[in-house]
């Protein structure tokens, strides 16, 4: 099992300790390797990212903190790290819609229920494990290049040349058909929004007119003929990954 890197950011010492205890107890039970780094403010978490050029697998982030609150902190972290699973810990779900653009993995309501924590943490671990395993092998010149699905922003086709653009600002060009590559991917996160574009919906920040705006501000066109269908695929995908509806249902039980 991989080493799980976890940040716990909360301005209340007792809440930080409680989360650390939950994490340690569960990881001992499951025999997971874990490293937990606590932070008492959003500013401290942001500084750690900047100073260490580092990313966490999972961030437990309190929303109501002095100084930068959790939403502002998450927005700053997303400029440095697109991949971490952000799990908000909060006394209220009021900020659910506001947090949309930072792609939260889930919400845990304080005081945190042990069963809810176990379910959420295990799902995060399983998703991280799957993301790190899924990859595409392409031939570029005389070399074979492995590109992980989680690193792909979008793929563009131009005159039978495909270019894969990644979250690390690297791009890879090679001769192939987009139809063939789409069949290789076979993953729900990829949306064929245009005959020349395949976009990773994990990195769409908004729908603007007839285009998707990505988290790096790139605009990806949407074909007019299938606009309604493509938009529905995107919205359905958001419902699946956001867990906001699932959280609200739990709160009504």
Fold of 135-240: OB fold (Dihydrolipoamide Acetyltransferase, E2P) (2.40.50)
User: Domain 3-132 is classified in which CATH homologous superfamily?
Assistant: Response regulator (3.40.50.2300)
Q: Pseudo-torsion of CA 39, 42, 48, 50, nearest 10°?
A: 170
CA angle 99, 63, 2 (to 5 degrees): 80
Contact by Cβ (8 Å): 128, 96: no
* Domain map (residue ranges) of the chain: 3-132, 135-240
> Which structure tokens are listed for 171?
């791009």
**How far is the C-alpha of 252 from the C-alpha of 159, rounded, in Å?**
53
93, 15, 11: which is closest to 45 by C-alpha?
11
Looking at residue 104, the DSSP 8-state letter turns out to be -
> Which structure tokens are listed for 44?
């401290």
Looking at residue 82, the DSSP 8-state letter turns out to be S
- Going residue by residue through the chain (253 aa), what tens digit of pLDDT does each one get? 557 899 999 999 999 999 999 999 999 998 888 999 999 999 999 999 999 877 899 999 999 998 999 999 999 998 888 889 999 998 876 655 555 667 788 889 999 999 999 999 999 998 888 777 788 888 888 889 989 898 899 999 999 899 999 988 899 999 999 999 998 888 888 999 999 999 999 899 889 989 999 989 999 999 999 999 999 999 888 876 654 334 333 443 4
**How far is the C-alpha of 107 from the C-alpha of 110, rounded, in Å?**
10
How many angstroms separate the Cα of 235 from the Cα of each of 103, 113, 139, 154, 203?
Answer: 13, 29, 34, 18, 13
Taking the whole predicted model, whether its pTM rises above 0.85 is answered as no
């Amino acid at each position: 099992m991989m080493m799980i890197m976890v940040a716990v950011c909360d301005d209340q010492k007792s809440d930080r300790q409680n989360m650390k205890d939950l994490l340690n107890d569960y990881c001992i039970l499951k025999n997971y390797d874990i490293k937990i780094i606590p932070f008492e403010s959003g500013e401290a978490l942001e500084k750690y990212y900047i100073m260490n050029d580092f990313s966490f697998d999972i961030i437990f982030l309190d929303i109501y903190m002095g100084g930068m609150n959790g939403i502002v902190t998450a927005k700053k972290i997303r400029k440095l790290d697109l991949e971490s699973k952000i799990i908000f810990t909060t006394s209220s779900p009021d900020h659910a819609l506001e947090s949309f653009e930072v792609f939260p993995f889930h919400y845990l309501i304080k005081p945190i229920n042990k069963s809810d924590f176990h379910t959420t943490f295990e799902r995060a671990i399983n998703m991280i494990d799957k993301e790190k395993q899924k990859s595409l092998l392409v031939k570029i010149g005389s070399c074979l290049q492995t590109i992980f699905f989680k690193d792909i922003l979008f793929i563009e086709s131009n005159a039978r040349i495909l270019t894969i653009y990644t979250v690390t600002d690297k791009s890879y060009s090679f001769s192939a058909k987009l139809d063939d590559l789409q069949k290789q991917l076979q993953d729900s996160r990829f949306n064929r929004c245009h005959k020349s574009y395949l976009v990773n919906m994990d990195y769409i920040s908004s729908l603007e007119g007839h285009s998707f705006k990505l988290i790096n501000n790139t605009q990806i066109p949407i074909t007019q003929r299938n606009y309604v269908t493509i938009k529905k695929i995107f919205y359905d995908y958001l419902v699946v990954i956001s867990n906001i509806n699932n959280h609200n249902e739990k709160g009504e039980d």
